[in-house]
């Protein structure tokens, strides 16, 4: 049952394109004011799910609601109550900053007497005070993204959908973009965001992991990490690539991946971990200088979960 505080409901959402199932029976709820992250490899169905929720795509089966409106029958009402920022940069490059703001303010039905105030707010928020007469296409990507975010919330929607909003943006711009998201969330805006950046995933209140069109995990980042049963070790070796080759298909090893110069190795169990690892590495002549059990990073959880669910579709 949907409570008053539920912003988004997905109930068995399914989307098929011909024989290909892009999204399969996905269900979840997002509470009001939550920052809800959608994490998954490319092609996992994140964007498709978001498009179904925002009324851009009709589900093949299942249903849901956004801001209390049915996604099957009330798409127009949903569009008045959400802000949406698509994956591609999607403002008009040949319009100035001000012209873009004015255009979207009119489309979103911002009342005439509020337009000036909202425009000033967006300009300030995006840090574009001196740039209002510049063509949007000439702005650096980070600024474009902030402007796009500003345009998506001109009408102060209760729910904001962001589809990989920071892809291709440098880390500093990404950071300042997330500051804005927090600011919006503080004011009670529900934020639904897809990403494939792990550090962004950490910023979310709750995370949904998607792979091959299915929801494979849903929890807070902390609980997702804790919930990982298989132990992870960080090991130091003289040659990480050779060590990966040696361990990847070794018995009792779930996964071995390079993390900088170190190796993260996921084992089936922690019994005799050091001894077993040393033996595998010795066989291949890799020298081994130490090991430490670590709390899994979100990426480890992600990789392990995706692997357990049959691997990423692209591999």
Partner 1 sequence: MLNRTRLLAVARKEVIQLRRDIRSLIMAFVLPVLLLVLFGYAISWDVQNIETGVLDRDGSARSRELIDAFRSSGYFDIRKQLEDEDEIDRLLDRGGVRIVLVIPTDFSRDVGAGRPARLQAIVDGSDANTATIALGYARAIVQSYSRNVLFQGERVTTPIESQTRVWYNEELLSRNMIVPGLVAVIMMIIAAMLTSLTIAREWERGTMEQLAATPVGRGEVVLGKLLPYVAIGLIDVVVVSVIGVVLFDVPFRGNAALLMILSTAFLIGALGLGIFISAVSRSQLLATQMAMILTFLPAFLLSGFMYAIEVMPTALEAITYLVPARYFLVVTRGIFLKGVGVEVLRVQGLLMIAFAVVGLAAAIRVFKKEIAR
d(CA 291, CA 281): 13
Q: Which is nearer to partner 1, 122 or 243 (CB)?
A: 122
Which of 2, 5, 27, 92 is in the footprint of partner 1 by CB under 8 A? 92
Q: Which residues pair with 11 in a beta bridge?
A: 63
Applying CB under 8 A, the span of 37-45, 104-112, 180-188, 223-231 interacting with partner 1 comes to 104-112
Which of 25, 70, 99, 202 is in the footprint of partner 1 by CB under 8 A? 99
CA dihedral for 47, 50, 51, 52, sign (positive or negative): positive
Q: Which is nearer to partner 1, 107 or 258 (CB)?
A: 107
Q: How many CA atoms lie within 13 A of 200 on its CB side?
A: 30
State the distance between the two ends of the chain, measured CA to CA, in whole angstroms: 38
Least distance in angstroms from the C-beta of 149 to partner 1: 12
- In three-state secondary structure terms, 76 is helix
By CB under 8 A, tell whether 57 contacts partner 1: yes
By CB under 8 A, tell whether 84 contacts partner 1: yes
Q: Which residues pair with 288 in a beta bridge?
A: 237
By CB under 8 A, tell whether 91 contacts partner 1: yes
Which of 13, 30, 39, 82 is in the footprint of partner 1 by CB under 8 A? 82
> What CA–CA distances, in Å, run from 50 to 23, 85, 224, 312?
10, 11, 22, 19
Interaction residues for partner 1, span 115-154 (CB under 8 A): none
Least distance in angstroms from the C-beta of 115 to partner 1: 11
Other Cβ atoms within 10 Å of 179 Cβ, number: 12
Interaction residues for partner 1, span 150-169 (CB under 8 A): 161
By CB under 8 A, tell whether 192 contacts partner 1: no
Least distance in angstroms from the C-beta of 129 to partner 1: 22
Tokens of residue 202, six digits: 């950490």
């Amino acid at each position: 049952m949907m409570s008053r505080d539920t912003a988004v409901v997905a109930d068995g959402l399914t989307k098929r394109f011909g024989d290909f199932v892009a999204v399969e029976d996905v269900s979840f709820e997002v509470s009001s004011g939550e920052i809800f992250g959608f994490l998954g490899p490319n092609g996992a169905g994140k964007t498709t799910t978001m498009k179904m929720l925002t009324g851009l795509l009709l589900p093949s089966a299942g249903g849901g609601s956004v801001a209390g409106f049915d996604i099957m029958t009330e798409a127009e009402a949903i569009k008045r109550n959400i802000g949406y920022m698509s994956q591609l940069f999607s403002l008009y490059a040949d319009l100035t900053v001000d012209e873009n703001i004015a255009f979207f303010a009119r489309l979103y039905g911002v009342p005439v007497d509020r337009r000036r105030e909202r425009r000033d707010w967006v300009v300030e928020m995006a840090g574009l005070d001196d740039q209002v007469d510049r063509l949007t296409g000439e702005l650096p990507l980070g600024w474009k993204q902030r402007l796009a975010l500003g345009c998506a919330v001109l009408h102060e929607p209760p729910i904001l959908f962001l589809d990989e909003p920071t892809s291709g943006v440098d880390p500093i711009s990404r950071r300042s973009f997330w500051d804005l998201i927090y600011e919006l969330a503080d004011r009670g805006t529900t934020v639904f965001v897809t990403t494939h950046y792990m550090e962004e995933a950490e910023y979310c209140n709750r995370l949904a992991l998607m792979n091959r069109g299915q929801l494979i995990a849903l929890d807070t980042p902390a609980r997702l990490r804790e919930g990982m049963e298989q132990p992870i070790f960080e090991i130091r070796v003289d040659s990480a690539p050779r060590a990966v080759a040696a361990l990847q298909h070794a018995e009792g090893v779930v996964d071995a991946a390079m993390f900088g110069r170190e190796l993260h190795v996921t084992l089936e169990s922690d019994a005799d971990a050091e001894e077993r690892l040393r033996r595998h590495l010795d066989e291949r002549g890799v020298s081994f200088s130490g090991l430490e059990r670590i709390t899994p990073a979100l990426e480890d959880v992600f990789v392990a979960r995706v692997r357990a669910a049959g691997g990423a579709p692209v591999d």
